[in-house]
């Protein structure tokens, strides 16, 4: 059940950005760049999770996972600031990134499921579900 929460939150980050129209491209970040950032975060998260095979590695990975959660929140804020996408741009981005995003999503989902089954992995997965602490940490 928690894996769906994590994957849903990642999907919400993506969806939030893909529902906006880019009125002033010169003043706003490119949606293309934001989708690339989300893809990179998903790939980085999967790589970190793949390396977790025991409690010691899980403890070492906590700092990296927390940093990734903060990166996800940053991208979500940047999506909100980027404005809305046109239907054409939305279709273009989907066509361009759909295969990569699907692959990244499936890989991430597999690692989350694997860690959910291991006692040492449950804490790492729960970190992915949490919102980062405010700037002061």
Q: Please name which of 116, 132, 14, 135 lies closest in space to residue 58, comparing C-alpha atoms.
A: 116
Handedness of CA 96, 99, 100, 106 (dihedral sign): positive
What's the average model confidence in pLDDT over 24-36? 72
pLDDT tens track for 70-109: 999 999 999 888 888 889 989 999 999 999 999 999 999 9
User: How confident is the prediction for the chain on average, in pLDDT?
Assistant: 81
19: confidence class by pLDDT, cuts 50, 70, 90: very low
The phi and psi torsions of 84 (rounded to 5 degrees) equal: -85, 155
Q: 62 and 124 in contact (C-beta within 8 Å)?
A: yes
pLDDT tens track for 122-134: 999 999 887 645 5
Q: Is residue 115 over pLDDT 70? A: yes
- End-to-end Cα spacing for the chain: 28
């Amino acid at each position: 059940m928690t894996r769906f929460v994590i994957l849903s939150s990642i999907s919400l980050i993506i969806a939030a950005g893909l529902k906006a129209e880019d009125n002033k491209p010169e003043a706003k970040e490119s949606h293309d760049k934001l989708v690339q950032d989300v893809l990179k975060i998903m790939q980085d998260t999967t790589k970190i999770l793949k390396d977790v095979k025991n409690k010691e590695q899980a403890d070492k990975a906590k700092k990296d996972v927390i940093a990734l959660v903060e990166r996800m929140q940053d991208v979500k804020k940047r999506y909100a600031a980027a404005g809305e996408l046109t239907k054409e741009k939305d279709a273009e981005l989907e066509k361009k990134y759909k295969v990569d995003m699907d692959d990244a999503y499936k890989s991430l989902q597999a690692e989350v499921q694997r860690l959910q089954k291991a006692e040492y992995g449950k804490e790492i997965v729960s970190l992915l579900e949490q919102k980062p602490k405010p700037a002061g940490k």
